[in-house]
Amino acid sequence: MDKIVKCHLAYLLASRRPAPPCRAVAPSGAIHDWRVSDAERMFRKQLFDTSRGRIVALLQRAELTVDEIAAELGVSANAIRMQITAMERDGVVQRVGLRPGTTRPSQVYHLTAEVEQLLSRAYVPLLTKLVHVFASHVPSEEMERVLRETGRQLADDLLVGKRPAGTLESRVTAASQLLNQQLGALTHVEKNGGYSIRGAGCPLAAVTGKHPAVCLAMEEFVSEVTGVAMRECCDRSERPRCCFTVV
């Protein structure tokens, strides 16, 4: 997954935000509008106007052979074959069988499950609505308990039972790296008489603005990874930013 994210960041950025409106009101009163803006539409169009972007767009709709992709895009089969070979190597597409041709069968390709997930726009609006409905039906104490348990289980899943060892600094660094590599955060470790994890943004910004308790799930996540109690100090203003500090 890391390799896909690095090699195809454009694909992820082009589809990261969902199309339906889903607003989160921050404590400051700022509104985070998750509808696709004109600028984002232009950005998405420019990214999908690349050769790989156009191939991905076609494979989102159907499984295709090299010749079929070439015919759709009006380019040579050899040009598409070179792109498909590189995309298969990078884990973007995979072979799913053969299709009879005029002279011999042709390989059929589709997007890998990982890339399909990266391109999905459903996760953010569904998660936002799920948290909203959940919060309206259970007491705040129960919601906090469930969120913390979610953070612990997420840490268990991503660590596969292998807790980071070593100094406190190395464990905090490992937690920051896990946030970045597996959860799409952009964090770094700061040392100011103690240790803190600070982010340039928040991967859960669509939810945390209206439901700050969601940050407790991530607080529990980093506490579980580091093996020490950490407290969230997140900035939930107009541009939310993650923050967790060792207690």
Domains of the chain: 2-20+36-119 (1.10.10.10), 123-246 (3.30.1380.20)
Cα-to-chain-centroid distance, residue 163: 23
- Report the percentage of the chain scoring pLDDT > 70: 80
∠ Cα 186 187 190 (to 5°): 155
The alpha-helical segments, DSSP class H, found in the chain are: 2-7, 9-15, 38-48, 51-61, 66-73, 77-89, 113-119, 123-137, 140-159, 168-183, 205-208, 214-226
pLDDT, residue 205, reads: 87
Count Cβ neighbours within 10 Å for each residue of 17-35 and write b for 16 or more, e otherwise. bbeeebebebeeeeebebe
Cβ-count burial 153-182 (b if 16+ within 10 Å, e if not): ebbeebeeeeebeeeeeebbbbbbbbbbee
Distances (CA, A) of 194 to 106, 219, 231, 246: 60, 16, 12, 7
pTM for the model stands at: 0.67
Amino acid 184: pLDDT: 87
Is residue 22's pLDDT more than 80? no
Percent of the chain with pLDDT over 90: 57
How does pLDDT run across 136-156, given as a tens digit for each residue? 999 999 999 999 999 999 999
pLDDT of residue 8: 42
For β-strands 187-191 and 195-199, DSSP reports them as antiparallel
Identify the pLDDT of residue 23. 38
What number is the average pLDDT over the span 45-72? Answer: 87
pLDDT value at residue 148: 95
Q: Is the pLDDT of residue 67 over 50?
A: yes
Which pLDDT does position 5 carry in this prediction?
39
Specify the DSSP class assigned to residue 241.
B
Average pLDDT over residues 25-51: 54
The per-residue pLDDT for range 168-217, each reduced to its tens digit, is 999 999 999 999 999 989 999 999 889 999 999 998 888 888 888 899 99
pLDDT digits (tens, 9 = 90+) for 103-141: 889 999 999 998 888 888 888 888 889 999 999 999 999
Q: Please list, residue by residue across 217-245, b when 16 or more beta carbons sit within 10 angstroms of its beta carbon and e when fewer do.
A: bbbbbbbbbbeeebebebbbeeebbbbbb
The pairing of strands 93-99 and 106-111 is antiparallel
Reply yes or no on whether the pLDDT at 234 is more than 90.
Answer: yes
* Res 169: pLDDT: 96
